[in-house]
Amino acid sequence: MPSKPAETISGTRRIAVIPGDGIGVEVTREALKVLKAAASGGPSKLEFTEFDWGAERYLRDGTTLPEGAIQMLRRDFDAILFGAIGDPRVPANKHAADILLGMRTRLDLYVNLRPVELFDHALTPLRGRGTTEVNFVVLRENTEGLYAGVGGQFQHGTPNEVALQVDVNTRKGVERIIRYAFEYASHHNLGRVCMSDKSNALTYGHEIWQRVFSEVKTEYPGIESRHLYIDTLVMEIVRDPGQFRVIVTCNLFGDILSDLGAQLAGGLGLAPSGNIHPGRISLFEPVHGSAPDIAGKNIANPVGAVLASALMLDHLGLSPQAGMLRRAVRASVSARQTTQDIGGSLGTREAGDWLAKNVTKQLA
């Protein structure tokens, strides 16, 4: 859903580009090529400003998220295109927590949108499944749950040690993500929402999900709603993925489910995500990390970043251009013009060139 309403289809969209570390830099470069090709044919302009926030900068001068960065992003930009962050030279990846988690929490990006879309039946490990069956989105609550950072350790390192991690579920947090799921299903004509929790065991923290889901679903009588416990849901996704269109769940389960989804649709190299606050500046990134093992070798798949760019274009009200990016990816997969991870022989740069050329051809 274009969650940032576009006043007009024309006009300039201002995009902050943060390539980050490792393969983040390589795949973002290719995504920019493809985005520029798509924008060259339309009435709306994309304006890119690049920021060097990442390990190099941190190691040079200790900066993670610069002073005033959040206010500047809110004031001067419509969206953020992010690569990946993480570098083995930085102890505990301190810069990563400050930069990425800092933006997620301080921009209140409460929706983590992870589409699972199979572009070619040959890419799924599920026997006999095709593109229409592996096609759903996971909407993960992105600001609370077990990842809220609430907890503590007592008598650390002793035989009596206690470690607590608190599962934070607020009325506001649960309601807004569930409501977003119904809005998303309704906007995209998807017809079905499945909410997943573990309320039979987590009788306090997840009971609120049950209650809020029952309330909110009555506002959307045209959408079929269903609840599955997380353990049943993962079995069902593998057994018969075609029954799902929109899945909404908490932070932890969403994290795990979306990696399962990424594998069902061809692997980490292809998976995009959006960190969204509807109507406000939001951040789009490939699901994969900085992958230091393959960085600098020109072998990383740029498709995750290109599909993340398509989500960004949707968010900016530029769905026709987003469609071009997706068609280019589909064409590259069926023509086997891809990187090695999904069976092709192109390098990162060559795969990006192919996609950009395909977009230009679509415009001609």
87 catalytic per annotation: no
* Rounded distance between C-alpha atoms, residue 364 and residue 325, angstroms: 15
Considering the rule CB under 6 A, would residue 304 count as an interface residue with ligand ATP?
Answer: yes
Please choose, out of 103-111, 187-195, 239-247, 284-292, the segment that lies near ligand ATP by the rule CB under 6 A. 284-292
Q: How far is the CB of 85 from ligand ATP (least distance, A)?
A: 7
293 is annotated as an active-site residue: no
Neighbours of 117 (CB within 10 A): 19
- Verify binding: residue 281, ligand ATP, rule CB under 6 A: no
Report the alpha-carbon distance of residue 353 to residue 158 in Å, rounded: 57
Stretch that binds ligand ATP, among 49-57, 75-83, 122-130, 290-298 (CB under 6 A): 290-298
| Collapsed DSSP state (helix, strand, coil) of residue 322 | helix
Query: Which of 196, 282, 290, 358 is close enough to bind ligand ATP by CB under 6 A?
Result: 290
Least Å distance, CB 350 to ligand ATP, is 14
Q: Binding of ligand ATP at residue 288 (CB under 6 A)? A: yes
Within residues 74-113, the interface with ligand ATP by CB under 6 A covers 86
Determine the Cα angle at 81 with ends 76 and 84, to 5°. Answer: 130
Least separation in angstroms between residue 30's CB and ligand ATP is 10
Residue 141, both tokens: 């609550």
φ/ψ (deg, to 5) at 25: -65, -45
Q: What is the DSSP letter of 125?
A: S
E strand spans, the chain: 11-20, 44-50, 79-84, 111-117, 135-141, 151-154, 162-165, 192-197, 224-229, 246-249, 272-276, 282-286
| Of the residues 247, 294, 313, 333, which one makes contact with ligand ATP according to CB under 6 A | 294
Residue 262 binds ligand ATP (CB under 6 A): no
Is residue 21 annotated as part of the catalytic site, yes or no?
Answer: no
DSSP for 237-263, written as a single string: HHH-GGG-SEEEE-HHHHHHHHHHHHH
Angle between helices 348-363 and 303-315 in degrees, nearest 10: 40
Q: Binding ligand ATP by CB under 6 A: which of 241, 261, 269, 344?
A: 269
The footprint of ligand ATP on this chain (CB under 6 A) covers a number of residues equal to 16
Q: Are 37 and 359 in contact (CB under 8 A)?
A: yes
Query: Is residue 68 a contact partner of residue 101, using CB atoms and an 8 Å limit?
Result: no
291 part of the interface to ligand ATP, by CB under 6 A: yes
Q: Which residue's CB is nearer to ligand ATP, number 65 or number 216? A: 65
Please give the structure tokens belonging to residue 163.
């470690």
Quick check: helix, strand or coil at residue 109?
coil
Q: Does 332 help bind ligand ATP (rule: CB under 6 A)?
A: no
Residue 289 touching ligand ATP (CB under 6 A)? yes
HSE-up of residue 256 (Cα within 13 Å, Cβ side): 13
For the CB of residue 301, give the shortest distance to ligand ATP in the complex, in Å: 4
By CB under 6 A, name the one of 175, 207, 341, 353 that touches ligand ATP.
341
- Active-site option among 259, 341, 353, 357: 259
Residues 358 and 326 sit within 8 Å (Cβ to Cβ): no
The catalytic position among 4, 33, 198, 217 is 198
Q: Is 293 in the site for ligand ATP (CB under 6 A)?
A: yes
Q: Is 361 a catalytic residue?
A: no
Residue pointed to by tokens 């997620």: 104
Question: Per the residue annotation, which of 110, 147, 180, 184 is the catalytic one?
Answer: 147
Q: Does the annotation count 231 as an active-site position?
A: yes
Which residues are marked as active site?
147, 198, 231, 255, 259
Question: Which residues here bind ligand ATP, judged by CB under 6 A?
Answer: 23, 27, 86, 268-269, 288-294, 300-301, 304, 341
